[in-house]
Structure 1
Amino acid sequence: MPDCLSRLFLCFYLLCTVTLVVSAQQQVVLGSTNPDIVYLPALCNVSDMGCLSAWQIYIDFPSINGTPAIATGTTGPIPQTGNTVPQLFLTFRASALYLLTSPLSNATVNFSLTADPSGVTITKQVNTNISKIIIADNLPETQTTTLGVTFLQGPSLTRFDVESITLNVTNSSATSSYLPTLSLPTSSFPPSISPTSTSTVNSNTNQRTVTIVGATLGGVLGPLAISSAGIFVYRRWRRRRIKRSEGDAGIYGMMQQTAKTR
């Protein structure tokens, strides 16, 4: 019976730990034209006749949810901007990221996540013709993560569109806590980033989402450390209780033996 109660206590503790971690999360939606999203080359509006860029703003096209939307898109490098490979960057602190593309998006992109200060990078090629929502989960909210998306040129003309980026954060009212200032190197990131750690991707031709598990960036270390600490304290407490019980039993036996001798 005591063992059953002990296991019940342990399960209850772990459940409370997970609940506290999950319930503290809030969602923040960033539109594709949000100034915290950095585009290389710089973003242009199609209504601005004097602006030429590989990144354009598209308005009033069918969204993935059926309503008109504003999105940014690219069909690849153009001579007017020196054939620079189109890229976008976002520096943030969050436990998860959801990048929503448009129904018109069919390009393959290089999707990378780099954590700072650990320097660990996860990268994966994603076909947006199959996966309309790119999910990055189990991210280290205590570290600063930089998202990098690079357009990959294919044998035929393709297009990559971004409608929005959603972040799971602890406090949605403290903008500076989850959107720190981004400082990009002058040369930007290379068009293709080689993976320095493993990543897990679940996708097939019937799925409209692709999940990139960023546990290797350190995202699960926080909850895991809390749970491990709880288990350690519990086991230590139980060992002491058993030893105390054995000690009490020994003293009781000695007292009985003494009484019989008398």
Structure 2
Amino acid sequence: MAGITRKTKRYPSDLTDEEWERIAPLMPPANRRGRKRTTDFREIINALRYLVRSGCGWEMLPVHFGPWQTVYWWFRRLMRRFLFQTIHDVCLMLDREATGRETSPSGGVIDSQSIKAPHPKTRGYDAGKKIVGRKRHIAVDTDGRLLLVQLTTADISDSAGGQMILDAIRKRWPWVKHLFADGAYDRLQLMDKATFLDFTVEIIRRSETAKGFEILPRRWVVERTFGWMIRWRRLVKDYEQRIDVAEAMIHIAMGSLMLRRNAHP
């Protein structure tokens, strides 16, 4: 990690030359007409990574990145183009290939995490976790790489969120067949939908004789992914008003993790 930090410009979150070479072709091309574009996309991505990693506000971005209004404007535009999701998915498939796996996974793990959300337009109350905010429903492959994320209000049950995950997985990762989950997903409607969409859901239950903390097979993988997320301070809580913005922040963080693993194996 020290060697990678020496290759960055100013901050540890900055792109190295190797990382930028891999994502530069994915940047939107310049317009053929009108004024020539002067924005440096590398600085825009650096600013967004700094924002998510440090947890600062838009107006507190360092002046090295240029006006924060410009960074915010490009963030909204790139988010509508699904650029951050594309970078994440491409790097995920490359990382799977580098480890000798197929690019598209065939198995995964699903889980949810309730997170406090101070200022969203809509939020709910999770009575089980005693949290007012949103809930992150995620699916990861068997190594913990994020496959997709769905955000809802915290009062949505794991089973209802799991049905949304099943629909999204079938459209985005069509080769996934087998999923692991905990007992909260063992519900009739979810299992019926899994059967209809040609999924096999295996419930991993905690041993009745276990005392204290117990590492469950397959289940610890998704918990580690949640741990990777909250290392990025912007994701410790859900500070975004809009759900699509919150999902983009997650893709920036996890895409940066995958990109660094690809560029610096």
Query: Smaller-chain TM-score range?
Result: under 0.3
Q: Which has the higher strand share?
A: 1
Q: Which has the higher helix share?
A: 2
Larger radius of gyration: 1
* TM-score normalized with structure 2 length: 0.21
* TM-score normalized with structure 1 length: 0.21
